[in-house]
Structure 1
Amino acid sequence: MTRPDHASDEGAIVALSARYRSAVMAFFSRRIGDRNDVEDMTQDVFASLARRAELDTIDNPERYIFQIAANLLRDRFRLSRIRPVIESEGYADPHHRLVDEISPERELLGREAYVAFIDALQELPERVRLVFVLNRFEEMPGREIAVALGVSQRLVEKDISRVLKLLRERLK
């Protein structure tokens, strides 16, 4: 069953798309080279908007649309870091994916590095550790962390820098 205001929402989405589509495409074009990806991501912005209930509750449609675009872009780059391009080393498995063998020695080195990493994090003061975890694992920007913790953005940046320096020293 459709919502009673479904037709008005469709009209609002069409109007918002007509007004902001070229700006959203320009936003993506400056950041992504592939024209097809730009078009796909632009379509995803308005599809996301269409899935939202009660469009009339959006105070600032332009800001909302570009926030969706920024989130999609961030998700795209996050996924590209998770799924790196695999070079031709390794061997193909039955499903035709490349597999890189992990030797027992490499596995042990990885475990040791993990333990050193955890030990270094646990030595940090609680706030500094929280700042690092929010930034690196939750991918929260420094300004959001600063607001959430009630500290300056500069302090958050110093904390992250301090943790990175400590980790570099420990994991050499």
Structure 2
Amino acid sequence: MAALALTYDHAPQRLALAWRLVQNAVMDAHNATEERAEALAERFASLRGSLVSWFTRRVSDAHDAEDLVQESFLRVAQQPDLDAMEHLDGYIYRTAANVLTDRYRHVNRLKRRAVLVPIDDDHGVADEIDPHRDLAGRLELDALSEAMMSLPERTRVVFILRRVEGLRYKEIGIRLGISVSAVEKHVTKALELLALRMESWQ
């Protein structure tokens, strides 16, 4: 999937081009008419504001948030069974959560490849740095990331919406089209599985 390499100097033109890419993706994946593609793009547009806000709180950069929203929409647009989905909004939100998880994994990989060690002007490497503690911390973070990715997709999305975004159970249920009791079961399942994975890691 081609990344959206668009500048922010002309925001209206940029947004128009981005939506056109979404429409084209729908038409390519579903052999849909232009009217159908426009209708789906309008559905995406109705959720754009809330998704931009959600991503911005996670990545602290409005430009990155915009790109992540478009990435989410493009992923959804390319799904072959899009027309048969009963809860399209919920699927879009779940896809957004997966896009964010992929972003975190990418950032973590970059950090592991380039471990930055503070430099002391007089001695080269800062004396207070404990390499063993730093390594242990990074290994624990890696283990937690792997544990999160091992969760079933729906359970992982529910857990992110609850623990990262801070949504109430009822709000999560409405967003994903599931019952409150189902949300509670997913959260409990996530906590149990994460605890087991981290216990085995230790």
TM-score bin (small chain): 0.5 to 0.7
Structure of higher CA gyration radius: 1
Q: 2:73 is matched with which residue: 34, 42, 46?
A: 46
Is 1:12 aligned with 2:39? yes
Distance 2:195 2:94 in 1: 27
Q: Distance in 2 between matches of 1:57 and 1:6?
A: 16
User: Could you tell me the percent identity over the aligned residues?
Assistant: 23
Displaced runs of 4 or more, over 4 A: 1-4, 142-145
The structural deviation recorded for 1:40 is 0.7
Unaligned runs of 5+ in 2: 1-26, 119-142, 157-187
Please tell me whether residue 62 in structure 1 is matched to residue 72 in structure 2. no
* Bigger relative CO (Cα 8 Å, ≥ 6 apart): 2
Equivalent-residue separation in structure 1 for 2:194 and 2:99 (angstroms): 25
How many pairs are equivalent? 115
Partner of 1:87: 116
The SS at the match of 1:87 is: coil
Deviation at 1:71, TM superposition (A): 0.5
Give me the whole-angstrom Cα distance separating, in 2, the residues matched to 1:13 and 1:43. 13
Separation in 2, partners of 1:49, 1:156 = 28
CA deviations over 1:89-140 (Å, ceiling 9, x no partner):
9xxxxxxxxxxxxxxxxxxxxxxxxxxxxxxxxxxxxxxxxxxx9x837822
More helix by share: 2
Q: How many angstroms apart in 1 are the aligned matches of 2:65 and 2:42?
A: 20
Cα RMSD (Å) of the superposition? Answer: 3.3
Q: Does 1:73 align with 2:110?
A: no
Q: Could you tell me which residue of structure 2 aligns to residue 156 of structure 1?
A: 193
Which sections of structure 1, spanning at least 5 residues, go unmatched? Answer: 90-132, 146-151, 166-172
